[in-house]
Chain A
Amino acid sequence: MNASAQPLIRLDGIKKVFYTDEVETHALAGIHLEIAQGEYIAIAGPSGCGKSTLLAILGLLDTPTDGTYMLNGHQVANLSLSERARVRNREIGFIFQSFNLIGDLTVFENVELPLIYRGMKAAERRERANAALERVGMAHRSKHLPSQLSGGQQQRVAVARAVAGQPSILLADEPTGNLDSKNGEAVMDLLRELHRAGATICMVTHDPRYAAHADRSVHLFDGRVVEENVGAGV
């Protein structure tokens, strides 16, 4: 497979329409987007512009009403439910605004969970989960429950969970949204480090300062891409 010739992700004419009894809402009105292997891309735009919907489609949590989605050269726009779960498990790592750690599981078990769903052997799981926790600097907290951690620490565990399975791409939905600016900066630094080590990252934010961290930012407005610019990639 030739990485330079073929982007990791290619979206063509992606549309998403929500129907209610009387109205149909066009959340996405034909998105074209390519993301290359190893790229760090920010999707920016005011709230309501459709960026969360786009992220859900990228993460195979939702299916587009129309359009094609190629991931690693495979058409994934209209996979069955179980196929989507399998692809999501192997190719995609999620980071949410509200962390979404599972409260009953310890830090280690949270990070291990996607590997369990993949059917990985226990020894390999332990090794990978520990490595991921080392990477985000949370290995010393692996026995704690999420409720015993601060928001910034929880988000770092969530990042570890996202990277533990070595996915093709990390999808981050306003990862700093629930954090104060200091902890927010720390999480942004962590993402940049991961990027330097080779990770492909796609981040949704409405904060232009954070968008500037990325190689490239795409601006959405009313469900369309209105502007693309190459950021500083600080």
Chain B
Amino acid sequence: MLKLRNIEKSFRHGLSQTFVLRRVNVDIPDGQFVSIMGPSGAGKSTLLHILGMHDSAWTGEYWLGEEPVHQLSAKDRMRLQKQHVGFVFQSYHLLDNLTVYENIDLPLSYRDVKKTERQGMVADILDRFNIVGKKDLYPNQLSGGQQQLVAIARAVVARPTIILADEPTGNLHSDQGREIMELFKRLNEGGTTIVQVTHSETNAAFGDRVIKLKDGWVVDEN
């Protein structure tokens, strides 16, 4: 269960204060597939990064299960993030000078997983995502859809309970986008909570629920 209470984030700009998020109250039960929507500048990505614990400059309460994230030290947040969160970005953010295999291995290397165990986990993911044949290629040798597939493989390899995705199909053709959404759907059916930011009603339709933001306010929730 993700629980946000009265989350606010603002920037000071001279004398005026610009709010990016205002009094955001959201509950996301485990295993839900949620889409955050709204116009540019509404605060969608900011909310996602707060959920992902990259952003700590906010006020309010954030409960991840029993853990009060708003009270944790940076170190504990990092531990919690490593344990629970996987990220997927619009522009993939694969590391150009690492192969597909090395990209997927990277999160495990940061989690002190033993080498032999890591090999098994990466091999398993390559199988599940059907990209074994691509494991020695570099990202720039792949199409956008394939790159995003690898990025998702990298996000799930460490077995997170939550996947946060920032416009995961934003740079893709519609059929590639649909494949990604179907993949999310399968992961979700396997029990992973998924929160995505999207502009696309089609993508949102894959999920259980839409949270609409406008100028930092939650304006519509269903």
| A interface, CB within 8 angstroms of B | 20-23, 25, 46-48, 150, 174, 176-182, 184, 206-207, 209, 221-223
Contacts and interface: CB of A to CB of B under 8 A. Distances in A.
Given A177-B41, A181-B41, A222 B173 contact: yes
A25 B174 contact: no
Contacts of B177: 48
Given A20-B142, A150-B13, A178 B41 contact: yes
B141 interface: yes
A209 B141 CA distance: 38
Minimum-distance CB pairs A-B, first 4: A23-B143, A47-B170, A21-B141, A177-B40
Nearest to B201: A46
Contacts of A223: 173
B175 to A, nearest CB: 8
A184 B41 contact: yes
Interface residues of B, number: 26
Interface centre among B40, B170, B200 (most CB of A within 10 A): B40
Interface in B206-222: 214-215
B214 A47 contact: no
B199 interface: yes
Given A48-B177, A180-B215, A181-B41, A25 B13 contact: no
Interface of B: 13, 18, 39-41, 90, 137, 140-144, 146, 167, 169-175, 177, 199-200, 214-215
Contact of B18 (A180, A209, A221): A180
A22 B140 CA distance: 9
B144 A178 contact: no
Given A206-B199, A222-B173, A25 B41 contact: no
Of the listed residues A23, A176, A177, the one surrounded by the most CB atoms of chain B closer than 10 A to its CB is A23
A179 B13 CA distance: 14
B174 A222 contact: yes
Contact of B143 (A25, A179, A181, A222): A25
A153 B140 CA distance: 38
Contact of B171 (A48, A177, A181): A48
A58 B177 CA distance: 27
Contact of A174 (B13, B40, B175): B40
A22 B141 contact: yes
Contacts of B215: 180-182
Nearest to B141: A21
Contacts of A48: 144, 169-173, 177
A190 B103 CA distance: 46
Given A177-B40, A180-B215, A181-B215, A20 B170 contact: no
Given A46-B199, A48-B170, A174-B40, 15 more contacts: A22-B143, A46-B170, A46-B174, A47-B199, A48-B144, A48-B169, A48-B173, A177-B41, A178-B41, A180-B215, A181-B215, A184-B41, A206-B199, A207-B40, A209-B39
